[in-house]
Amino acid sequence: YILNWGQNDDENTAYIYELYSDGDALAVHSGSDAMKALMGALGDVMAGAPELVMLTPAAGKGL
């Protein structure tokens, strides 16, 4: 994953980019105990539910 902070008016927003080999890998990760624990812990500090946006990589080193 890559953690990014917004800039200017968006500095309190975190953007997390993750890359998975396929939908099954995403499902396994999303349903893991570690992710459930993380989301439970972050619930108290987040302003709302996370927004999930699916993207298709266009280019990148090692892809």
SS3 content of the chain, % helix, strand, coil (to 5): 35, 15, 55
pTM above 0.75, yes or no: no
pLDDT, tens digit, 9 for 90 and up, residues 9-63: 777 888 999 999 999 999 999 999 999 999 889 888 888 888 889 999 999 998 7
The contacts of residue 50 (CB under 8 Å, 6+ apart) are 39
Where in the chain are the domains? 1-63
